[in-house]
Amino acid sequence: MKLNVKVTKIMALSVSICTLTAICVHYTVPKNYGLNQAVEAAEEQDVMAWNVTEEEDEKNKAVQLCALTFTKQSQISSIGVQGGIIGLSDNDNITELMSAKTGMVSKNTEELQIEESDKEMSKTQAAATIEEQTDGKLNHLLDSADTESLADTSAYVLLFSLSDKAGFVFDKVFPNVNVALNIRAEASSDSEIVGKLYPNGYATILERGEEWTKISSGDVTGYAFNELLYFDDEAYDIAQDLDALKVTTNVKAKVYAEPSKESEILKSTKKGTEFTYLKDYSTGAFVAVQYTDDTIGYIVRTSVDEEFKADTAVTMAQIKAEEAKLAAEQAAKKAAEAKGALEKAKKSTIGTTTRAAVSLTDDELMLLATVVAMEAVGESYEGQLAVANVVINRMLDGYWGDTISDVVYAPGQFSGANSGRVEKFRSRVTESCKKAAVQAAAGVNNIGNYMYFCMNSIANKSSYKSYYILGAHCFYSR
């Protein structure tokens, strides 16, 4: 029968771990139960009441099968050792039980031989009773169409991973450093550094040694000095402080008020809902989660996936790439700041000053006003005064001639002068253009010593020694 095949596989697996029977019972049966009450204990722990999906139901059935089988093996083994006594109190010595199994109990060999014949019948009867009780449970869990082998499921592993705070081992470590923990290729301070783990980052223990521990974090695997690591309870406390322990629902799951499906349902969650994992309060069948700031909730263990969310180590290649990127950013920032300082230095802040007046005839004043109209008729009065002062500055410099006419008609200077545009603009000279010419000749100067200007839109500012923007014009020196 298919049932017998599966039970045979279960019993074969159980035989291989006989020496762990006492430990198995410790994790699967509450302390207030004896071995002869293991079946009832498994039932009371509500292992059968988990099902959320058909897939989970099948997996949990497998867990129950394992629990029953291991308990059954423990009971039968106990019969052989204790001479038909089916049950251990909380005060029984596990070491003595295991010693008895290997024939090391401090009993006289002769006394054992005498007792053996008397016990044989009670052993046979007790075994038959346990066989009948346990097979009844197995028949309840299995149906004739179920052919999946327990050896192909995670039930065996899950059974031995059932939460027990006293036996809980935290396999994460945190760096006990201020800046960064060096992770080395070998267990030596002279070995190559392959990565760094920064504060609040974590690593998983691969091999724990007396002085050095092999760890893995992110893309880095190597060794760290034990004195620079937080282990065990200290590491677990840090993980809780960082809120790094998480679980995420892998199905639509219910959050219960107590670790039992018979308790109040606090919430029905969607798949992918994340909670903070409270490992200390979790049970074999349920994980405890932080439901609200002051409320603990419970979710069926198979309905969630555990996650650990904290920073991981970085490789030396990643560190060097980040350092190069940072150096490039800093260099670019300094270059931009230098350029900005240069541009700022080039810009002149010019106020209106007074210089010695120059003597101009009316014709020269009118020519100067016409040039102002030609170059800046649409500008403000300040812009017109600046153009007039550029002409005066050139005349005072003498390079282009000693008169207004020489400066205006110098080859290649005022393009409109040689094309006849100056004369055309005589009719467009405004009162503000005339005022600018008169004021510039009188010594009112708002442009300093600048002798060049052009439209700001075409100005090549990077080639100027300094410049000043006024309206649509850029006044500069070169």
> Which residue is associated with the tokens 């609040």?
200
pLDDT at 230: 95
- Fill in the amino acid letter for 347: K
What value does the CA radius of gyration of the chain take, rounded to a whole number of Å? Answer: 47
pLDDT at 324: 92
Q: What residue segments make up the domains of the chain, in order of their start?
A: 2-162, 166-308, 353-477
Give the span between the Cα atoms of 445 and 351, in whole angstroms.
8
Instruction: Quote helix, strand, coil % in the chain, to nearest 5.
Output: 50, 20, 30
**Residue length, the chain?**
478
pLDDT at 90: 39
Give the predicted TM-score (pTM) of the model. Answer: 0.40
Positive or negative: CA dihedral 222, 226, 230, 233: positive
pLDDT at 49: 44
Domain 166-308 has CATH 3.40.50.300: no
Distance of CA 432 to the CA centre of its chain: 68
Bridge partners of residue 207, in order along the sequence: 214
Angle, alpha carbons 309-293-237 (nearest 5°)? 45
Positive or negative: CA dihedral 128, 134, 135, 136: positive
Helix axes 54-82, 94-101, angle to 10 degrees: 70
Give the span between the Cα atoms of 218 and 102, in whole angstroms.
46
**Per-run averaged pLDDT (10 residues), the chain, 478 residues:** 43 46 44 40 43 51 50 44 39 44 47 54 51 43 37 36 50 93 95 94 94 95 96 90 90 94 93 90 90 93 89 93 91 79 62 85 90 90 94 90 88 75 81 92 91 90 89 90
Neighbours of 269 (CB within 10 A): 21
Sheet of 203-208, strands arranged across: 229-230, 172-175, 203-208, 212-217, 220-225, 181-184, 193-197, 314-315
